[in-house]
Chains A and B, each alone.
Chain A
């Protein structure tokens, strides 16, 4: 396994989807190739960092009142049923 191949297998390896034989070769490459080991670590950090971007911290104040009013104004009135729904 060379560095290009190693890199192309990272996602599958993280998902546990590499066949056993290939996973062993993959792990052997980590042990002997510091750049690939570093690359793998940073790839994992990148995935973790993306996860940080979940919007659990959204605060009500950041929605403009104009948007809320526009949404409420666009609400279909009448009996609430919609002829396009089955």
Chain B
């Protein structure tokens, strides 16, 4: 099984699925080579440590290999794999969850203690956040780094809702919590992320 002979044509999805179900080794290699880059990128959103993200991708493919017989073709292979890697990443995250999390309260807005409850912190204007391609790439790096700093339980909800774009009910089911908990965590995660991004996006900031 040498990796370099990638000149043959890729089979259609139907053919690929049939070959996978028949246990053809070449089909598995195609599946892995085609899908692992994207799946690894997904896993990295939940698991900041590269080794953990790679483990999650490996776990996901093992589940996929085992579950192949039950794959009905109702969704695309890539969609099915995506769901499996999200699950594998969340499981890994659970086992990795170490020590008490950073207090998210430090990243939430503070208010005056009177009836007005005005903002205690100055809300300074941000520069344009959605400009040209080059700045987009820079922003992406900044935002990824900030998301990594969020406590795990907040990062996972933000990733599932705002990045994967799953709806509240699906996320609640996936995490085994109520919809109310998902909403509260998402709101707090966004506020915390805003606080982490604030120093970078203030007008005049580098």
To the question of whether A and B form a pair in one complex, the answer is yes
**A residues with CB within 8 A of B:** 2-5, 7-8, 10-12, 35-36, 38-39, 41-43, 45-55, 57-60, 62-65, 67-72, 74-82, 84-85
User: Which residues of chain B (50-101) have a CB below 8 Å from chain A?
Assistant: 54, 57-58, 61-62, 65-70
Known A-B contacts A39-B109, A52-B136, A72-B1; A82 and B69 likewise in contact (beta carbons under 8 Å): yes
In the bound assembly, the distance between CA atoms of A50 and B23 in angstroms comes to 39
**B residues with CB within 8 A of A:** 1, 3, 21-23, 25, 28-29, 32-33, 36-38, 40-42, 44-45, 54, 57-58, 61-62, 65-70, 109, 111-112, 115-119, 122-126, 129-130, 136, 139-140, 143-144, 147, 158, 162-163, 165, 183, 186-187, 190-191, 193-194, 197-198, 201
Q: Which residues of A contact B123 (CB under 8 A)?
A: 35, 38-39, 42
Q: Which residue of the partner chain A has the closest CB to B54?
A: A67
Q: Which residues of A contact B28 (CB under 8 A)?
A: 72, 75
In the bound assembly, the distance between CA atoms of A69 and B198 in angstroms comes to 42
In the bound assembly, the distance between CA atoms of A3 and B122 in angstroms comes to 13
Q: Which residue of the partner chain A has the closest CB to B50?
A: A64
Q: Are A58 and B191 in contact (CB under 8 A)?
A: no
Q: Which residues of B contact A42 (CB under 8 A)?
A: 123, 126, 194, 198, 201
In the bound assembly, the distance between CA atoms of A2 and B165 in angstroms comes to 31
In the bound assembly, the distance between CA atoms of A3 and B62 in angstroms comes to 50
In the bound assembly, the distance between CA atoms of A59 and B33 in angstroms comes to 11
Q: Are A53 and B143 in contact (CB under 8 A)?
A: yes
Q: Which residues of A contact B118 (CB under 8 A)?
A: 2-3, 35
Q: Are A62 and B40 in contact (CB under 8 A)?
A: yes
Q: Which residue of the partner chain A has the closest CB to B36?
A: A63
Select B140's contact among A52, A64, A77, A81, beta carbons within 8 Å. A52
Q: Which residues of A contact B197 (CB under 8 A)?
A: 46, 49
In the bound assembly, the distance between CA atoms of A83 and B37 in angstroms comes to 30
In the bound assembly, the distance between CA atoms of A67 and B22 in angstroms comes to 24
Q: Are A81 and B69 in contact (CB under 8 A)?
A: yes
- Interchain Cβ contacts under 8 Å between A and B, 30 examples: A2-B115, A2-B116, A3-B112, A11-B187, A35-B118, A38-B123, A42-B198, A45-B194, A45-B201, A46-B194, A47-B162, A48-B130, A50-B158, A50-B162, A52-B143, A54-B163, A55-B38, A58-B40, A59-B37, A68-B32, A69-B3, A70-B58, A71-B57, A72-B29, A72-B32, A75-B62, A81-B69, A84-B66, A85-B66, A85-B67
